[in-house]
Each structure stands twice: as C-alpha cells, then as structure tokens.
Structure 1
Amino acid sequence: MGVDSDDGDFSTGSRGGNGMTIGAAPIPDDVLAMIAEGRHGDPHVVLGGHPYDGGVTVRVLKPLADAVVVRFSGGDVSLVHEAHGIWVGVLPVPEVPDYRVVVNYADGVAHELDDPYRFLPTVSDLDLYLFGEGRHEELWRALGARTMTIGEVSGTAFAVWAPNARAVRLKSESNGWDGREHPMRQLGTSGVWELFVPGIGMGAHYKYAILSAAGEWLERADPMASWAEVPPATASRVHTSSYVWGDEAWLVRRAKKQAIHEPMSIYEVHLGSWRRGLSYEQLADQLVAHVRETGFTHVELMPVMQHPFGGSWGYHVTGYYAPDSRFGDPDGLRLLIDRLHQADIGVILDWVPGHFATDEWALARFDGEPLYEDPNPQRGWHKEWGSHIFNFGRHEVRNFLVANALHWLEEFHADGLRVDGVASMLYLDYSREDGEWSPNAYGGRENLEAVALLQELTATAYRRNPGTTIIAEESTAWPGVTKPTDHGGLGFGFKWNMGWMHDTLEYVSHDPIHRSYHHHEMTFAAMYGWSENYVLPLSHDEVVHGKGSILSKVPGDRWRQLATARALYGFMWAFPGKQLLFMGSEFAQESEWAESRELDWWLLDLPDHRGVLSALSDLNARYRETPALWAWEDDPRTFSWIDGDAAGHNVFSFVRRSSDSDDASQLVCVSNFAAMPHHGFRLGLPHTGVWEEIVNTDATQYAGSGVGNLGRIEAVAGEHNGQPARADISIPPLATVWFRARG
C-alpha cells in the first residue's frame, strides 16, 4: 500500500532495519517531517544522493509509492520507507553516480524518473547578486521556467522570487499537481527558490504552492512565466522560443535612426476586436495587409501582456512576461511583429508599469505579504483603477519592471513602448484627497522612486536597443518628460499631447457657425508645441464609454461629419507632432468602440466611408514623402502660421519647412472648418511660383464635393499675412488642402 497524505500530514509507515538502513546518513525525524510537509527551505540537503560512510545515501520523497528502486550502472537498489513518505537506501559507491528512480504505485506500472534533487542550482551567484541590486537587465534568463539540458538530461529549471515564504513547492502535470513531490530550495538570503526538474518540457503547465509566514498554502502563477493558459484558466506554461526571425534588415536600419527624425503615423489596435477570433498568425496576414493599404508607419498594440479580464483591454496585467494566450503562443506574436517589420511597419507595445491586477493567483500579496505592491496603502493602492501600485523603491521590483521592458524590446523586437498612466506614477497625490497621501522625503508630491525607475528604464532601453523609443502617456505639465536623463529629464522619446487632443475634439464638436468662437482651441498647441516631443493622439480612450466615435462627435448630417473627419486628419497630419489614430477611425467608424465586438467593416462597402479610408491612405503617402512634416520635428523653425487668426472664416493656414529653410522642401497646409467654400481666398505664401495641390480632402474620389484649384496655384509677388508672395485660391468646405512648391 502506498503512503498517503492529507495536506502534508503523512502517515509514518514502517522503517527498515532498526529504523534506519545500515550506512545511511542519519536525519532527525523532525527534519524529515519538515521536508515532507514542505516546510524545509533546502530539501536538497536531505533528498537526492549524498556521500556518507563509504557509500551514497539516497533519499526520495514519494508519498504515494508502493515501492521505490534506485537504478544505476551498478544495478538496482531497493529503498525502504523511512518516514513521512520519504524512502531511503545506500548505493555501494563512494561518489554520487548518474542514477534514476523507479517508482511503483497502485497502478502496477513501474515509472522510471530522474531525480531533481541530484542537480546543482541553475541560478548563479552573479544572477542573485544583480537581482538583489536591481541591476539584472536580462532577468528573464535567470527566473521563471527555462528549458535546458544539463549533461545529457533535458528538463526545465524553475526559479521564483518569494522572500517572505517559509517554503515553495512546484505543482505541475509531471507530479499530478501534487506539489509534495517537488519542494524547492531557497538560494541563500536572496528570496529566490529554485528547482530543476528533468523531463518537463515545452508546453507543460505549472504553478507554485507557497507557504506564507502565516502558515497558509497559497497557489500562484509564475510572475516570470513566458506563456500562460487561456483565461479563465490560470496556470503558467513552459515555453522556449524556436522562432527564426526574418527582420534583420529592419533592425539594422532602425539602429541607425532616431524616431524623432523619422515619419511616424501610428495605427492603434486592440487585437481582440479589430476582427474577432483571429490568431496571431491570421493577424499577420490580415492586419499587415490593412496597415500596408492605409500607409501607417507604425502599429501600436494595446497591451498584449497576459490579463484575465478582456474588458480591462489589457491594462490590468497578471503575466508581465507572457503574451496574451488568447491569440496563440509567444512565437505567434513574434511572427506578427516580424511580418510587420518585413512590411516596413514599426511596432509599439502598450506597457503598464504603474499598477497591476488584484487577482489572488497572480502578483497580489504574492508570498502572503505585500511584495510587488507598495506596503503603504497610500502608495500601494490605486483608487481610480482599483488595482495595486508597484513598490517602485524596492530593488527587485524595479528590476522586474525594467527587465520586463527590455524583454519586450529584445525578445519580441518591439520598436517602442507606450508607457500607460505615467502621471499616476509621478505624483503621490494622484487621484487622492488631502490626508490620503504622504509626501516624499523632501515634503513634495513627486514620487521620487517612480521618477528614478522611469529614468533608468529609458536610459537602459536606449543604450541596449538603439533606434527604439519610449512614449509617455502623461497628461500634466511635468517638466522634461522628453528631456534626456543626463539633463535631468525623464528620457522619454515622445509624450502624448493630451491637451491638443482635448482642444481639437472640443473644437470639431461645435457646429461650424459657432467654431469662430473657439478658433484658438485649434491654435493653442502651437504655443507649447516644442516644449516636448509630442504625439497627437486620437486614441481608444476618446471613442468609448459614451464618448462616441470621432464621426459622432461632429454635428450635422452624414456628409458634414465625414467631410469634417477628412479635414481633421488633413490638419492633424500636417500639424507638428507625430500622429496616432485608433482603429476604425480610418474609415469613420459610426458607433463607438466596444471590445466585445469587431469593427464595423461593412462600412467600407459604402463609397463615402471608403472615401475616408482613401483620403487617409493618401495623407499617409504624402506624409511619408514630405520630410518637412517629420524630419526636423524637434525644431520650432520648421513651423510657422501663415494665418492662425482667420476665425471669421474658420480657416487655419501654416507652413512646414526643413530646418535649412530650403524652398523646395516647404509645404503649406490650409484647413477650412466652415461648411461653405471660400473662393478667391487670398493666401500668403513663402515664395512665388507654382505650388502643387498634393492633398485635397474634398476631392471627389474621397466622396467630397470636388472644389479645388485644378491641382495647382501660382503665387505672385506681393506681401500678405507676412509672407512675400500671395495667391487667390479656392478652399473647399470642411476640407484641408496641402500645397507643395514645385521643384
């Protein structure tokens, strides 16, 4: 009969030969009980093979076994049950040999297994030192589940940080989810627990059982897991990438560039609702084709990190190192990114370091105590989002986050990260009333530890991955968000311009007859446009939760709504700053976004909605071929108003130029947000000669009214609006036109 147990309380059973096999290394019964009950911090000192008294004592923990045999080159040695499900025997050799364990259970089958307790630690002292210092830049190579071969033995090394735990066990398919067979060892004072298990490989499911300081067994997923079960299942999975990348040419080109000096028009995507039911592999065909058609330079993916609740859109993360398994395995995401790169499309990933999900099987109170979260509730709990806030000042937590950012940049070849909720990280009083927050060491409201984390993140990312960019979603007036860290800034490459977004959407929401009273909502952003490097975002947050789509924000009939959308995009694509547009807006999605259903693709069967898509595609094409719109984005000399005060006409006109003021590189943008055309409108121009009309969002091919200038205008000498030349032009209703000097 097997030796059974209940919650770690093993029946004693019988001992062999006066309570101990002759020659076996003696171990006190209370120590054996601790091993069996999972309360021993270093089971390897008892289990496995240990030279003693001229032989090798082998102990094996198999509480449900009927018989256990050790098999080695010298033959088979039967073990006897010693106590608490531990079996012991002596091999008549002086040193520990290569051996296997043969276990017989009630099924009558002999199971030959390798012994995890005969292997040295798989985490090095240097790994532990760097982690303790918060400086292990490739932490995913030390912790988590890593397949490896030791000698000729293949298996998986498991390592998890749980410094407050009294013990940790591995639960997996290999032990029938009975963690008693696989207690883990604690590596010194690092708080890291480790175990190499032979025979466990690709795809295996596992969890950790953690004995808290309060004596409670907790079941947790692996914080460093590279793969996870599909929700609502919660186990972690072993994964080793076998993907062969094909984007080397892209990476070589990227390393020679800086994003601020390159074209960047971003298509923001929620994978689950772009089209329903697609895998990463299917998205690699369909999404890539759509982005190529529309001409965006980059795709920004809303969080693809593992999260249990789809309605969180990915912003309440449980698996920071694991891609969302709803769409396939991690190599599927690699394929999607690779295919985008091969189509000359960059990839930005949304990343959420400011807070994390409360699910009890994930990071929350991971080892029974506040660990990843700040123990101070005034710093560790996010009122607005109902989630935990990371302990930014703890070395290991900081390391977890910085290494996680590097993981997505390096293991998945992401070209950038958009950091969510930066403002909530920077301010101790964010979304808190008086008395609900504590000042920093200097009495201020700045979260100094979070600032240091962000600076370390950006500096490290750029050092290791030239050509990448880190983008801040930051909505306050914090100074120096995109200033280099060596000059006291946060080091971000770009900052979302939330003020521009709010002012612009407010302006177009007014009826054209009233827009003259709100004219400077559209011009105000130019007052501060070079205080940071900006992205102009019309993101998912603006088309959800009752806010309506871009189209529905605009008053008037359908023709006016669609025309205004085209005019807005024309204005936006020429205005200083990179552009971001949420999916569906490229063809004027009618209803607001909901993550539970896919976009209204049927609208593309309607000529007027197809016209919006065509207009945007042409804007992207003209944008890419016009360096004046992007190559010197950080130089205020590249922008000037021609007339920013034509409120009575609802007209805005400005010029974009290269930093060297080369006439041939100049582009003039004129936008009319009135519902009527302006004929004979006198426009100041930077120089005389022919200017080609390269964009007209009112063109008939876009379902517009066709008002225009027959493709060209000619400027003559004569000062107007402070410009040395002028031309009388036709400006279509609710439209934007671009003019480029003929070279």
Structure 2
Amino acid sequence: MALRDTTPPEAGGPRPCRAAPPLDPADRARLLSGAHHDPHSLLGAHPVPGGIAFRTLRPFARAVDVVVGGERSGLSSEGDGLFSGVLPLEAIPPYTLLVSYEDDAQEVHDPYRFLPALGDVDLHLIREGRHEELWKALGAEPMTHQGVTGTRFTVWAPNAQGVRVAGEFTCWDGTAFPMRSLGASGVWELFLPGIGEGARYKFEITSRHGDRFLKADPMARRAEVPPDTASIVTVSHYEWDDAEWMAHRGDVPVHEAPFSVYEVHLPSWRPGLTYRQLADQLPAYVKGLGFTHVELMPVAHHPFSGSWGYQVTGFYAPTARLGSPDDFKYLVEALHRAGLGVIMDWVPAHFPKDDWALGRFDGEPLYEPGDWRRAEHPDWGTYEFDFGRVEVRNFLVANAVYWCEEFHIDGLRVDAVASMLYLDYSRDSGQWTPNVFGGREDLDAMAFLQEMNATVYRRVPGVMTIAEESTAWGGVTRPTESGGLGFGLKWNMGWMHDSLGYIQHEPVHRKYHHHEMTFSMVYAYSENFVLPISHDEVVHGKQSLVSKMPGDWWQQRATHRAYLAFMWAHPGKQLLFMGQEFAQGAEWSEAHGPDWWLLDPGYGAEPDHRGVRDLVRDLNTVYRATPALWQRDTSPDGFRWIVGDAADDNVFAFLRFDAEGTPLLAVSNFSPVVRHDYRLGVPGDVPAWQEVLNTDAERYGGGAVTCPDPVKPEDGVVRLTLPPLATVWLSPV
C-alpha cells in the first residue's frame, strides 16, 4: 500500500516533496555535459530510503511537478535544469511530469521511466553484423511502447562518451534527452513519448575527446531538403498495388529475357517535376519507346545536386528534392503498372566528408577505415567504407535489401565496383598496403560484395544486381558458391570504350581500328554483359553521342543511328542515357536536362530528332519480338560472324540465334558509300531474307536506300545493297 504525504499543499499549488539524495558530483558533471553512458540510472524514478526519488532534466523550465494519481507534487530545483524530490511511496507508480515554462505548462511522460525499446536479439544481430532488417532496429521508429505512443531513437556510435537527441522539439539543444548505451553493441537508445511523424532531429554526440557535435541519423528514412540537413521521423502510409508485377518479374532469368534500359536522372528529366508528377509522364514516355526497364541515377539523399546523387549522405532516404518516400513509392508503382522494371544506382563505394554526416561519425573513423591510406578516395575527395568492419558491412548489405523490399526496386546497379576491389585503385606506391597474400585485391570488399549479392538474391526473388566494373576481374557474374562476386549482370565497359573509339574516327581511318568493333566477341561470354551508353559518356567534354560522330550533320545522325542498331544487335543487354534517344547535340547538364525543344516541329525536328526517336522505338519493338536478339545473349551458340574481317569496307555482319535456332542477320556499313551487290554467306536452310529494320529509312532521316522485297540466297550467298552509314536487320521469311 502506498504511503501518503499528509503535509498540506499551498492553496492551488502542488504538494511539496522531500529533498532527494544529491547526485554524485562526477555523475552530475557527466550527465550535464552529455557524456554519461547511463542517464536512466540518474533520471526517472528510483527507490531510495523513505520512498521513491524522482529526478528530471528540463533546461529552461521554471518548475516541474510529478503527477501521481491526479495529484501534483512539486520537485525542487537542483540547478542547471535538474529537478528532484522524494515521495513516500513503496513502489514506483505510473506518473507524468508537469513541466512549466514562462508562458505555458506541458504534462508529459518521462522518457526515463521506460525500459529499452530494442530487444536482445536485435542487439546480438547488430553486434554480429547480421541484422538484415537493420532499418527496423536503428534510426527513428515511431511506436507504442509500454502503452505510450512516441518514437524510439537508436544509433550506433561505439566510440562516443555520450549521445543525446536534439531536435526542433528541443530548440536543437540536446541537454534534456541523453541516450543510454546498450553495452558492447555500441548502440545508444532512448524512447521519447509524444514525438511522432514529421519531427526533425539529429544526434548530439560527445566524442571520447570531449568534442560535441550534431550528426544526421545514418539510418534516417527521410531527410530535409538541402541545404537543410536534419533527419525527419517518418512512417510509411503507402499501400502497394503491384503484387502481380512482383510475383512474375523474375519468371524468366534476366540474361535470357529482353532487357533494354533507359537511364534517367530524375531531377533533370523534366526539371521541376515531383515524384508524383514524374509518375504521370515518365512511364508513358519510356513505355512508348519500348524499353523494358528504367535505371534511375542515385535517388538516395545527397546534399550536393551537382554530384548527380553519387555522393550519398542518407543511404536510407530518397532525396527530398522531389517529394516524400511514399511519393517515390508511387513513382515506382506507376512504372510497374506500365510494365517497366525499376533499377536504381546504388553507391556503396564511398561517401562525402560533410561534417554533419557519416564522416568520423562519433569523433573517430567509424564508417571509414582508420588507416588514412584506405580512408580517403583519391579521385573523388570522399571517404571509402571500411568493408572489414562487420557493422559497416551490415549497414550496406541491409541497405541493399531495404531498397528492394521497402521500395520494390527490381535491380541495383552498383557504382564504381573496381574502386572497391583494388587496394591500389588510383593510388601510387606507398599509398597502399598489400593484402595478407601480398596481392592488390581488397579481400574485405570482395567478401562484402559476395555477401550483398547472396543476401539480396536470397531475400528478394526476381531482383537483379548489376556491376559497373571497369577491369577484367574474373567472375563478376559467377555465382558466389563458385567463388564469383555473384552479380547478375556486368556493364561491358570494354565494348563501350572500344566501339565509341571506333565510331569517332573518320570513315577513311576506321579500317585501321576495325578490331575495336570485333574484339568484344573474344570475351563476350566471360560474363553476363550490359552494353552501356550511360551519362558518364555524354558529360565533361566527352560530347553527346551524336556529336562524337565525324562528318556533317547528316553523317553524324546516320552514324548515330547505325551505331544504335549495331548495339541493339550485339550480344548483351542495352542501356541508353536520356537525350540520346533523339540525338541531342549538346552535352547533358543536370541544371536543365534533355533539350526537349529539339522535338518541337517548329525547330525542324522532323526527321532530324524525331526520326532518331522513332528508330529507337522500332529498335526496341523488333528487339522484344525477336528472341534471337536476347534469348542466348550469354551462350556462344547464339552468335556467328558472317563478315568480321572486312576492314577495308568498314562492314560487319553477324547472325544471332534464338533457342530454336531461328536466326537474325545484322549488317552494319560504317562507310559513307553505298555498297551494291555485297555478298554475304548465310545459312542454307533459309529460303529468303526480309529486311525488318533499316536505319537508312526515310522516316528515320535516312537516304531511303532500302530493300522492301525479300532477298533469296543463291548457293548460300545473299547479295545486298548496303546503305551508307547504316545498319540493316534481316529475318527469315
């Protein structure tokens, strides 16, 4: 039975409390400086001789009362915002605090009366680096805890002396809300009653050197629009309606399916559009062009728009520039409804040094290696991740899963894989140390990529991973159980570099570079390849695709068209960056995006630019309807040279075969002259060949050197008229 204080209170005021035992001076100092590992042992309610002691830390408060059973009892000020008192009670009762300021009073639950809101299993998995749903354990999680609604704040900061929650609800002063350390896990936790969706917050960290600074939440699922840098408590209210898509997206393995990708930088595709406005335009446009997938340049939160998303500070938050996380989900579902898969660029290779973000997060190297030779990326002025630390690997592996599970992303294109795999990447002698075997391979990064791929493929059926890997590292797309990295596809940077080099030469000089167009077939089946013409190839002085071509405007457009059709017929999947589908002449700029005005008939867009766009639409249409062009992309049986050595003619001809052996004949003439009666040996069991696509067609802006009638072979040879600077596809009649 509870004892009652019979001392009459002042009229209209609270009952007075007896004085509480004073805090140990050292504990008091650490608490007030934000350097105490266990503030719950000092604050809240605790049994003491003669009753229950209540103590709270409320800076700027005029008075604090403890409310038990509807009765108020006044706590005494200890100075520095501390209030305390003892009530003659036998046990800790349910209670609230009435906190009075100069102009108002608030009755609140005491955060320091709650047990930890994070379980032992979560802590064990975090410490082991095996928490595959890390976003559900760390960060800001609105919840009902011990019957009270609020938000659980958790953060990994193992080197900190203390961590406090600061937010707009504290006027960005963290004094009132120190967090408790949950032991060897390095996790700090605090449940704040009454804090909910939309609250802006950061973590105020006191390093072991005594420095104090504010950091955004590494696990924040929503962030402020730059230049503001706070994290935002968020709850998803989105109800997905794409179950049919999700159930069948992986029915056919990606390397045996049509796969044609339109790469998009969302903020500049149509500048000014939000996620939801993009959902009204982008799916229809991409579907109308016949692509199977959209690849989004990084949408994770990044402070500097000029990085295009490749310098990420908020790995778990879509960029707020275009809307909320639920708005981004709306866009993804709109693309799914249009029958389009969604690939997202993912950037685990590095992160920027902004002082409010991941860098030296708790005052020490944490997400980055402690060795300066490994911590800083020499090319980008950023930090690299410490792939040897299990908690950091867990942060990244769970992040890959997060985007796939929470946002229904269909594929992750992993940026800058080569920079992770090599210890000496862009480093001179003395700036790196060999691995334990004396080699240059980063064994920790290799293990991380294998773990990421294995985890994603196990947890999220139908998802693909794609490596941007620019070297000859073996086994990038080999399964992890066979020692490979486990990616589904790899960007063929060699093909891209060689083929772009070839087409930039004047036709008269191309015969000396003929091998640059054929060499890719030497290694075409060493990996599962994507042929990328990405954003990287049309910026920083490299010129747009059409502007790389030599000659006058007609020749440039003709070569552009011929090259695209050569690319679509070549073994491997295709990727084309926005603006190149209509032969934009200027380099891409993130400030204004594609030059859509070029498609306006008032600027003579027909057929200069619309014709090229029509070709891309027809390329995709014929491609998707022709299994020979995609079904055996990774099998040598799906390809055969007809003419691979006609260097003097600038001609390439080859056959593609589907699983049933049905062929498609692709012939490219990269010389500016018509080649009449050009002889090509073809399979003897095909009675006639019909032109199904010709990049010189008048509707594409060509010279109309076409062959509308079927062509019959004689003695296994067909005679074709090859249009200048053009590619022709023919199929059996």
Q: Is 1:654 matched with 2:654?
A: yes
Q: Distance in 2 between matches of 1:655 and 1:91?
A: 90
Q: Distance in 1 between matches of 2:617 and 2:41?
A: 67
Counterpart residue type for residue 238 of structure 2? Y
State the match for 2:678 in structure 1.
Answer: 681
- SS where residue 713 of structure 1 aligns? coil
State the match for 1:118 in structure 2.
Answer: 113
Q: Distance in 2 between matches of 1:705 and 1:298?
A: 32
Match of residue 255, structure 2, among 244, 260, 263: 260
Q: Distance in 2 between matches of 1:120 and 1:94?
A: 20
State the match for 1:610 in structure 2.
Answer: 610
Tell me by how many angstroms 1:91 deviates: 4.2
State the match for 1:540 in structure 2.
Answer: 535
State the match for 1:12 in structure 2.
Answer: none
Q: Is 1:214 matched with 2:209?
A: yes
- SS where residue 121 of structure 2 aligns? helix
Q: Distance in 2 between matches of 1:411 and 1:92?
A: 51
Q: Distance in 1 between matches of 2:658 and 2:618?
A: 21
State the match for 2:393 in structure 1.
Answer: 398
Aligned 8 A contact 1:246 1:342 in 2: no
Q: Distance in 2 between matches of 1:479 and 1:509?
A: 30
Counterpart residue type for residue 103 of structure 1? V
Match of residue 572, structure 2, among 574, 577, 582: 577
- SS where residue 503 of structure 1 aligns? helix
Counterpart residue type for residue 593 of structure 2? E
Counterpart residue type for residue 505 of structure 1? L
State the match for 1:671 in structure 2.
Answer: 668
Match of residue 410, structure 2, among 406, 415, 426: 415
After the TM superposition, which of the residue ranges 252-261 and 598-607 deviates more from structure 2?
252-261
Tell me by how many angstroms 1:55 deviates: 3.6
Aligned length: 712
Q: Distance in 1 between matches of 2:280 and 2:725?
A: 36
Q: Distance in 2 between matches of 1:23 and 1:674?
A: 96
Counterpart residue type for residue 634 of structure 1? T
Q: Distance in 2 between matches of 1:508 and 1:60?
A: 73
- Taking the TM superposition and a 5 Å limit, the aligned residue runs for 1:504-653 are 504-605=499-600, 606-607=605-606, 608-653=608-653
Tell me by how many angstroms 1:82 deviates: 2.8
Aligned 8 A contact 1:574 1:629 in 2: yes
Match of residue 46, structure 1, among 31, 42, 47: 42
Tell me by how many angstroms 1:26 deviates: 5.6
- SS where residue 86 of structure 2 aligns? strand
Offset from partner CA, 1:165-224 (integer Å, 9 cap, x none): 000111112222121011111101211111111111111110111001111101110111
- Taking the TM superposition and a 5 Å limit, the aligned residue runs for 1:299-378 are 299-378=294-373
State the match for 1:4 in structure 2.
Answer: none
Q: Distance in 2 between matches of 1:287 and 1:467?
A: 23
Tell me by how many angstroms 1:84 deviates: 3.1
- Taking the TM superposition and a 5 Å limit, the aligned residue runs for 1:705-720 are 705-716=703-714, 718=715
State the match for 1:102 in structure 2.
Answer: 98
Tell me by how many angstroms 1:92 deviates: 4.6
Match of residue 227, structure 1, among 218, 222, 226: 222
Q: Distance in 2 between matches of 1:436 and 1:385?
A: 16
Q: Distance in 2 between matches of 1:74 and 1:624?
A: 72
Q: Is 1:87 matched with 2:77?
A: no
Counterpart residue type for residue 95 of structure 1? A
Counterpart residue type for residue 695 of structure 2? T
Aligned 8 A contact 1:551 1:590 in 2: yes
Q: Distance in 2 between matches of 1:486 and 1:388?
A: 31
- Taking the TM superposition and a 5 Å limit, the aligned residue runs for 1:413-492 are 413-492=408-487
Aligned 8 A contact 2:17 2:74 in 1: no
Counterpart residue type for residue 367 of structure 1? D
- SS where residue 227 of structure 1 aligns? coil
Aligned 8 A contact 2:117 2:145 in 1: no
Q: Distance in 2 between matches of 1:159 and 1:483?
A: 38
- Taking the TM superposition and a 5 Å limit, the aligned residue runs for 1:50-69 are 50-53=46-49, 55-69=51-65
Aligned 8 A contact 1:50 1:57 in 2: yes
Q: Distance in 2 between matches of 1:696 and 1:653?
A: 14
Tell me by how many angstroms 1:683 deviates: 2.1
Q: Distance in 1 between matches of 2:293 and 2:242?
A: 15
Tell me by how many angstroms 1:415 deviates: 0.8
Q: Distance in 2 between matches of 1:420 and 1:579?
A: 17
State the match for 1:7 in structure 2.
Answer: none
Tell me by how many angstroms 1:24 deviates: 4.3
Measured on the aligned residues, the alpha-carbon RMSD in Å equals 1.5
State the match for 1:9 in structure 2.
Answer: none
Aligned 8 A contact 1:667 1:739 in 2: yes
Aligned 8 A contact 2:289 2:620 in 1: yes
Tell me by how many angstroms 1:512 deviates: 1.6
Q: Distance in 2 between matches of 1:86 and 1:708?
A: 88
Change (3 A) 1:570 1:84: same
After the TM superposition, which of the residue ranges 667-676 and 252-261 deviates more from structure 2?
252-261
State the match for 1:690 in structure 2.
Answer: 688
Offset from partner CA, 1:107-150 (integer Å, 9 cap, x none): 2x111222111111121111111111111111000001111112
State the match for 2:3 in structure 1.
Answer: none
- SS where residue 489 of structure 1 aligns? coil
After the TM superposition, which of the residue ranges 79-88 and 388-397 deviates more from structure 2?
79-88
- SS where residue 640 of structure 2 aligns? strand
Match of residue 728, structure 1, among 715, 719, 726: 719
After the TM superposition, which of the residue ranges 366-375 and 286-295 deviates more from structure 2?
286-295
- Taking the TM superposition and a 5 Å limit, the aligned residue runs for 1:96-175 are 96-107=92-103, 109-175=104-170
Q: Distance in 2 between matches of 1:27 and 1:468?
A: 56
Offset from partner CA, 1:275-307 (integer Å, 9 cap, x none): 111111111111112101111111111111111
Tell me by how many angstroms 1:23 deviates: 7.7
Q: Distance in 1 between matches of 2:242 and 2:650?
A: 46
State the match for 1:186 in structure 2.
Answer: 181
Match of residue 384, structure 2, among 378, 384, 389: 389
- SS where residue 668 of structure 1 aligns? strand
Q: Distance in 1 between matches of 2:54 and 2:676?
A: 95
Identity over aligned residues, as a percent? 57
- TM-score, normalising length: structure 1: 0.94
Q: Distance in 1 between matches of 2:239 and 2:204?
A: 35
Q: Distance in 2 between matches of 1:52 and 1:574?
A: 81
Offset from partner CA, 1:250-272 (integer Å, 9 cap, x none): 11002433211111111111112
Counterpart residue type for residue 553 of structure 1? K
Counterpart residue type for residue 700 of structure 1? E
Match of residue 739, structure 1, among 724, 730, 733: 730
- SS where residue 644 of structure 1 aligns? strand
- SS where residue 263 of structure 1 aligns? coil
Q: Distance in 2 between matches of 1:675 and 1:711?
A: 24
Change (3 A) 1:362 1:680: same
Aligned 8 A contact 1:41 1:185 in 2: yes
Which blocks of at least 5 consecutive residues in structure 1 are unaligned?
Answer: 1-19, 719-724
Which blocks of at least 5 consecutive residues in structure 2 are unaligned?
Answer: 1-15
Tell me by how many angstroms 1:93 deviates: 4.1
Offset from partner CA, 1:428-467 (integer Å, 9 cap, x none): 0110111111011111111010000000011111001112
Tell me by how many angstroms 1:567 deviates: 0.8
Aligned 8 A contact 1:228 1:235 in 2: yes
